[in-house]
Chains A and B, each alone.
Chain A
Amino acid sequence: MAEISLQGVTKSFGKTEVIHTTDITINDGEFVVMVGPSGCGKSTILRMIAGLETSTTGEIRIAGKRVNEVEPKDRNIAMVFQNYALYPHMSVYDNMAYGLKIRKLAKDDIERRVQRAAKILELGQYLKRKPRELSGGQRQRVAMGRAIVREPAAFLFDEPLSNLDAKLRVQMRLEIQKLHRELRTTSVYVTHDQVEAMTLANRMIVINAGVVEQIGAPLEVYDNPASLFVAGFIGSPSMNFLPGLRSGDGVEVGEGLVVPLPPEIRGSAGEQVTVGVRPEHFVAGDGGGPRFKLRVDTVEALGADSLLHAGFNGSHLVVRIEGHSTPRAGSEFEVSVLPGKAYFFDTGTGKRLGA
């Protein structure tokens, strides 16, 4: 168990800086998810914590001890890889025991730890098998077992579920949650899937192009996105954005429609402001907020709810409404924004206004 902290960490490959100055503190026993689009640098940060990459500047501490110069094996961490990285020629048992053998643990101690991990992960009957005789989900469980037996200060997960099919991913997600509840080990989890981030995280770190955009509890990030990027990345389907101009007490978003600004962020006219509305924050008919007259392009009826796709003044809008009062494609439809559920961003900087 340990706290992990990164202070002023950057990473450059040659002249390009891929991770800009980053400060992160991960508390003892916390499950933190780093989420961002592919190539944003989230894996690089994880690999710097693991010691597989060196940081260009800054300091990385695990359990209060500076580890910049420490070899991965001595950092007391365990890592789970996307492609499992199991030793193909070793049995499940040997895969889990290998690191312990190297650390010269007593035979009965190894046996005890492996059996315990196998029990937690329900791998007992597969201990003699080779990885190729297992399914993807079982392989990933072995990879987690290999991490558990080390009894490390922290688990590092690098997109562990990305190679699994959708159904298995849901199941493994639950298992990882359960595992963390049981073991309470500090965990850092990297994914590009915002659903995994929302469901697993105690806190999540949203990263874009090597910059930490926002750190916070999942719902906090969802409710109060700090920037256009975070707002668009978290939530599915993603938030609708309507570019507009500030005029008086509202934002003019086209077709004569003005979305009123809350009192605390009124300012000079003529500024470019982007209005963001989540698909689920629209209601059919008059809900009290600004009203949009839409011509429906496409309808995706999902049963419980329906997604309407429509164009509005050059932007593409997605509206989520209750599933059975669905208009037909091509028809006119009126929706309104729930009061107080519109977000306002500075179009130039992408920062949230009034936050």
Chain B
Amino acid sequence: MVENRPVRDVLAHAVLITGVLLVAFPLWVTFVASTLTFEQIVTVPMPLWPGDHFLANYTQVLTAGSEKGSSAPVSTMLVNSLIMALSIATGKIAISILSAFAIVYFRFPGRSFFFWSVFVTLMLPVEVRIIPTFKVASDLGILNTHVGLALPLIASATATFLFRQFFMTIPDELAEAARIDGAGPVRFFIDVVLPLSKTHMAALFVILFIYGWNQYLWPLLITTSESMYTVVIGIKRMIAGGDASNEWHLIMATAMMALMPPALVVVLMQKWFVKGLVETEK
């Protein structure tokens, strides 16, 4: 829209800038707090300009963890989180793209039953089935392992549904042309479907990576050994008790590091992400 209304422009900008400030301010406070000492943080008012303990705080949490709460180093936690988020994202994409392929391109008995049963699980969030899932995980002996962190969260109705919707927009003639060209289902999947799904996979990867990274309840339940903590759980474990005993400067440093990887994934894959959501190349 091309309009020239100065008052509305100013108003619009004011609203937007206020919004940005509202989002950015807590982040700024977190960052500032992560560069101060414990004493500086508990003074009232807390300084709003970075202090000089940046390196000290970050080195401390990365190598040794906090002193009073959990003593696992954050570097281990970051690795755990990364393994978990990557396995969940890739696992979900791999499984759901295959099941969507089966549902769209093969006629087998009970096809719509299977599709709908996958679809219905959309209504069951992790929290609802968490106790039985825990029981199964414990029987399988995968508590306190990376497999245990990722595996129960891999099945994904949402991704299956999205891929199904995308596959249905691929013209049937493409599959028929491939059949006449002599490509069997596997060749067709690898040579045609996968390349066409690239942008969708990238978009889903971003969403699912963040989903996996931010998992809280499930890791909280099944990780009891410090070496298996994810960074989100790490933050929780550092908050050990009353206000005075929490090392807020270290907790804030951990929080800063916890939010870096998802932010990085979004920034790096933004182009693909947007493409996957808006554009289909057919």
Contacts and interface: CB of A to CB of B under 8 A. Distances in A.
A78 B187 CA distance: 19
B180 A72 contact: yes
Contacts of A88: 196, 281-282
Nearest to B282: A88
B176 A102 contact: no
B271 interface: no
B189 to A, nearest CB: 13
Given A98-B191, A102-B187, A132-B281, A85 B173 contact: yes
Interface string B64-106: 0000000000000000000000000000000000000000000
B255 interface: no
Interface in B148-180: 171, 173-174, 176-180
Nearest to A132: B281
Interface string A87-100: 11100000000110
B192 interface: yes
A78 B176 CA distance: 11
Contacts of B195: 89
Given A83-B173, A85-B174, A73 B180 contact: yes
A221 interface: no
Contacts of B191: 87, 98
Contacts of B183: 98, 102
Contacts of A81: 173, 176-177
A182 B183 CA distance: 29
Contacts of A89: 192, 195-196, 281
A86 B282 CA distance: 9
B182 interface: yes
A92 to B, nearest CB: 14
Contacts of A85: 171, 173-174, 176-177
A50 B180 contact: yes
Contacts of A83: 171, 173
B243 interface: no
Interface in B125-144: none
Contact of B182 (A79, A87, A103): A103
A87 B180 contact: no
Nearest to A94: B191
Given A85-B174, A88-B282, A98-B191, A73 B179 contact: yes
Contacts of B178: 87
B179 A52 contact: yes
Nearest to A75: B180
A77 interface: yes
Interface residues of A, number: 22
Contact of A77 (B177, B180, B192, B282): B180
B179 A72 contact: yes
B3 interface: no
Contacts of B282: 88
A73 B172 CA distance: 16
Contacts of A50: 176, 180
B39 interface: no
B106 to A, nearest CB: 15
A99 B180 contact: yes
Given A102-B181, A102-B183, A52 B196 contact: no
Given A85-B176, A89-B281, A132-B281, A73 B171 contact: no
Contacts of A72: 176, 179-180
A132 B195 CA distance: 15
A103 B195 CA distance: 21
Contacts of A98: 181, 183, 191
A98 B176 CA distance: 14
A141 B282 CA distance: 18
Interface in A37-92: 50, 52, 71-73, 77-79, 81-83, 85-89
Most chain A CB neighbours (cut-off 10 Å) among B174, B177, B282: B177
B180 A79 contact: yes
Nearest to A73: B182
A78 B40 CA distance: 78
Nearest to B171: A83
A78 B182 CA distance: 11
Contacts of B187: 102
A87 B183 CA distance: 13
A79 B196 contact: no
Contacts of B180: 50, 52, 72-73, 77-79, 99
A347 B165 CA distance: 50
Contacts of B181: 73, 98-99, 102, 146
Contacts of B182: 73, 99, 102-103
A52 B176 contact: yes
A136 B65 CA distance: 63
B281 A79 contact: no
Contacts of A99: 180-182
A86 to B, nearest CB: 8
Most chain A CB neighbours (cut-off 10 Å) among B179, B182, B281: B182
Given A83-B173, A87-B178, A102-B187, 11 more contacts: A52-B180, A71-B179, A79-B177, A79-B180, A82-B173, A85-B171, A89-B195, A89-B281, A98-B183, A102-B181, A102-B183
20 contacts: A52-B179, A72-B179, A73-B180, A73-B181, A73-B182, A79-B176, A79-B177, A79-B180, A81-B173, A81-B177, A82-B173, A83-B171, A83-B173, A85-B171, A88-B196, A98-B183, A102-B181, A102-B182, A132-B281, A146-B177
3 closest Cβ pairs, A-B complex? A99-B181, A73-B182, A85-B173
Interface of A: 50, 52, 71-73, 77-79, 81-83, 85-89, 98-99, 102-103, 132, 146
